[in-house]
């Protein structure tokens, strides 16, 4: 029996990424407290939240294979969340100017029937150009990326802010590392290319 696939996220960016694989899936909105715990390292936080989202969705989809994901942007030990408004976005981009942001994306694939959980954290480095206040404001005028961690949309004009990108999985920057996810899905018998080499009997 084919198990349904559920994305435990209402992010339009993650939805668009998963659609690229051509696998039918549903979305679920997990109600999870995303507050960072005291002194919690970013890698630990995103992994914990990815698992929490998958487990929350499993309560409503007990027969499904569930994808949970969470992401933060960091400069050193400082976690940059979604700015929410223009002033905070200016502050974040001024802080990022000429520096490197590390995006940590936690990924969890949960088979709700067997209880098997696969998790990983995928890092991605964004090296920023030196940014003047004028360029920052011009960018924000164009895209208003106030719902994006780090205050930019890499799939849009945000690319103009970067000097260099560094990482194994470019889709991780947008919030769902597809290269790594495909490997996890194949281990559960879900192959986007329709083969069966990776399935088990």
31-47 pLDDT, tens digit per residue, is: 899 899 999 999 999 99
pLDDT digits (tens, 9 = 90+) for 66-94: 999 999 999 987 898 889 999 999 999 99
- The residues carrying an active-site annotation are 70
pLDDT at 181 over 60: yes
pLDDT at residue 116, rounded to an integer: 97
pLDDT at 195 over 60: no
- pLDDT for res 198: 35
| Partners of 78 in beta bridges | 75
DSSP letter assigned to residue 168:
S
Cβ-based burial of 14 (10 A; exposed 0-12, middle 13-18, buried ≥19): buried
Flag whether pLDDT at 56 surpasses 60.
yes
Q: Which among 76, 79, 55, 82 has a CA at the least distance from the CA of 66? A: 55
Q: In the chain, what is the greatest distance between 2 CA atoms, to the nearest angstrom? A: 59
pTM of this structure: 0.89
Q: Among candidates 2, 5, 119, 14, which has minimal Cα distance to 61?
A: 5
Per-residue model confidence as pLDDT tens digits over 117-168: 999 999 999 999 999 999 999 999 999 999 888 999 988 899 999 999 999 9
Q: What is the pLDDT of residue 179?
A: 97
């Amino acid at each position: 029996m084919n198990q349904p696939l559920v994305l435990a996220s209402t992010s339009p960016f993650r939805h668009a990424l998963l659609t690229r694989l051509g696998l039918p899936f549903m979305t679920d909105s997990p109600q999870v407290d995303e507050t960072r715990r005291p002194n919690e390292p970013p890698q630990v936080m995103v992994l914990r939240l990815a698992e929490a989202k998958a487990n929350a969705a499993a309560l409503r989809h007990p027969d499904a294979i569930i994808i949970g994901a969470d992401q933060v942007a960091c400069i050193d030990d400082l976690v940059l969340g979604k700015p929410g408004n223009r002033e905070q976005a200016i502050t974040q981009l001024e802080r990022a100017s000429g520096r490197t942001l590390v995006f940590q994306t936690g990924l969890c694939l949960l088979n709700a029937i067997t209880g098997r959980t696969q998790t990983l954290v995928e890092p991605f480095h964004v090296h920023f150009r030196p940014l003047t206040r004028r360029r920052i404001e011009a960018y924000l005028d164009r895209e208003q990326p106030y719902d994006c961690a780090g205050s930019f949309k890499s799939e849009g004009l945000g690319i103009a802010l970067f000097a260099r990108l560094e990482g194994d999985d470019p889709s991780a920057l947008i919030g769902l590392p597809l290269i790594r996810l495909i490997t996890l899905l194949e281990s559960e018998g879900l192959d986007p290319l329709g083969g069966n080499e990776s399935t088990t009997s």
